Chain A
């Protein structure tokens, strides 16, 4: 049992990271009922924006550029945590404008459009930042090893897990405790009624998509110091994110969080004792959960079940 403890801790950490990845995805699916296959590309885009900002690539040899690079890495990193997601949000909003003709049509149109957008964004990244491996700097204070109960862990991973908790809590607060959150939730429940009450539904959808894209970009900035940064890094994101929202129940905030932790524990423990099954364990978990409860752990009951 003592042998298992470090792997349980590792699984929980992994789960929190998975939750951060799935957060934006579940928001867009839950509110807009669009499976955004470009989520991974927005994840990558956020990280690349942060890379450019941290390295001062946009400012060139200007006086501002020189001043910017004189700032500490901590300051630039914090700035990147805001600017990267904001730019990803703009890209997300542009994507939402393209999606509008598909609303009310078969879901396949939205799927195809976001799939195409994923390819386009990936190519834009290749053209803009090159095809090779890049390295997103992180402040030394959150980098390096840390000793916990005789085991070496990554300090950065603990930071990332802690950051995930803060981000998840902030999103929950926004959705539950602000009037904007109430409108978003109402829009998900009955969009026609929201429109009848005088709210601009188009604007609401634009904001939600932008918010989801910002969360994807934020997850990218947090995750790439662990995964590495390359143009197709986003491919690694969509499948776990999709699995998590299906296990948790589509549209359920807490479902996504619980499912992410379950997936993290499954992958973390299997990875240590039966490595070949580590990836498969996610799918097995999906089969078990959906087999017993087709709408996922916290999914809403469908009208057909009444």
Chain B
């Protein structure tokens, strides 16, 4: 018969050994500093979609990040350390985003996470990132809640949000096309938040919402909604429909010849969502943060660099999604350099309030990272289909009609809703 003998001395010894080990390793998330070495590469986890509704945008986002990383490595890395990256598909699904973030931090030991197009995915990733204190750059999702109620100390939001775009467009559109509006809203966080911002502005400027039609994600037939628009006869239709849904939507509006009337306001038009579509699908006015033919110094060189790096890419010119992915990653690596360390708190401080000149960002106005919300405040462009479009230059699809300085389109509601965690509440570590 087996007998287990637990002596008092043995028990005390085991307890002491366990306590010692715990003091050394501790809760892993707070003590990763022991694993960091100065020659260890800086590892970035790329959390972009490679499948699902935003697969195409995710690929563009990723190309932007890779170009920034390669540029830095060609210059010898950051603080003498090579920058490495790993990509896992977030599938345009929030639950996958959480899982991927958890794996990248705990198993792949990524010090930074970059990338998102879908706001639900971005929010899911950022919750995991905050738990571990890992800096996360939301490159391309533009729900106002991302830098509002869902803001985090470790999250930085690089795209203009729905409120920024609505502010740039709503007041002028009421004056030009009338007060009666209909809203077509993608039934998820970005759509709802953008519609909410539009409704608030309509209330402020005397507009009226006749009806809001919610469009489930994955909708491929918009005829019911478009018939309803015909029945209601609004002056303006504000559409917050994204990704593949938007491509099908645009195609169907064009087929019905409804692009000219009523007036269409489309919150933001991501370049990968329209690239390759016939020009008559580009109806209405829409927002963007960058265009490859902006008449500004550096833009042509940037486009050339893209074409040299990605000669086989079907998208022959970069768009706003690529631009955001590139700029976010470049600024993160610059911030590590400025901080003189890859300590997450030091890098967060280097990013907060950081000013970026218009020339450096190839935009019309200076930009800055809002210290209270972590959103990049930047130039907002309004565009429409290029009236001089020709078959010889199929890429030149947009005509920029206005640019608005960031302080004119500030999202004050997001700033009120955002409560960043304190530095002390954020786990610290050296990446």
Contact = CB atoms under 8 A, between A and B. Distances in A.
Interface string B228-258: 1011000000000000100110011001111
B343 to A, nearest CB: 38
A299 to B, nearest CB: 27
Contact of A228 (B213, B228, B230, B244): B244
A151 B220 contact: no
A279 B255 contact: no
Contacts of B108: none
Contacts of B215: 275, 278
A116 interface: no
A132 interface: yes
A37 B51 CA distance: 17
Nearest to B216: A279
Contact of B252 (A131, A154, A270): A154
Interface string B209-220: 000011110111
Contacts of A6: 227, 231
Given A157-B223, A236-B218, A132 B275 contact: yes
B186 to A, nearest CB: 10
A169 B96 CA distance: 44
A143 B278 CA distance: 14
Contact of B221 (A14, A134, A135): A14
A271 B224 contact: yes
Nearest to A130: B314
B255 A276 contact: no
A287 interface: no
Contact of A152 (B228, B258, B274): B258
Interface string B267-278: 000001111111
Contact of A135 (B51, B230, B277, B315): B277
B248 A227 contact: yes
Contacts of B230: 151-152
Interface in A71-119: none
Interface string A245-286: 000000000000000000000011111110110111000000
A134 B225 contact: no
A276 B216 contact: yes
A65 interface: no
Interface residues of B, number: 39
B56 interface: yes
Nearest to B223: A10
A230 B247 contact: yes
Contacts of B84: none
A231 to B, nearest CB: 8
Interface residues of A, number: 42
Contacts of A278: 215-216, 219, 224
A16 B229 CA distance: 23
B55 interface: yes
A61 to B, nearest CB: 19
A156 interface: yes
A232 B231 contact: no
Contacts of A145: 255-258
A7 B273 CA distance: 28
B281 to A, nearest CB: 9
B277 to A, nearest CB: 6
A156 B255 contact: yes
A224 B314 CA distance: 20
B219 to A, nearest CB: 7
B216 A152 contact: no
A228 B251 CA distance: 7
Contacts of A153: 223, 256
A61 B256 CA distance: 35
B58 to A, nearest CB: 10
B303 interface: no
Contact of B256 (A154, A271, A279, A280): A154
B399 interface: no
Interface in A112-145: 130-135, 143-145
A278 to B, nearest CB: 6
Contacts of B227: 6-7, 10, 151, 272
B173 interface: no
A236 B52 CA distance: 11
A112 to B, nearest CB: 19
Given A7-B224, A268-B223, A272-B228, A230 B244 contact: yes
A226 interface: yes
A99 B346 CA distance: 58
A305 interface: no
A3 interface: yes
Closest 9 CB pairs of A and B: A271-B224, A276-B214, A130-B314, A272-B224, A145-B257, A275-B213, A279-B216, A275-B214, A132-B314
19 contacts: A131-B55, A132-B314, A133-B56, A133-B247, A144-B255, A152-B230, A156-B255, A225-B255, A227-B221, A227-B248, A230-B56, A232-B52, A232-B55, A236-B220, A267-B224, A268-B224, A278-B219, A278-B224, A280-B216
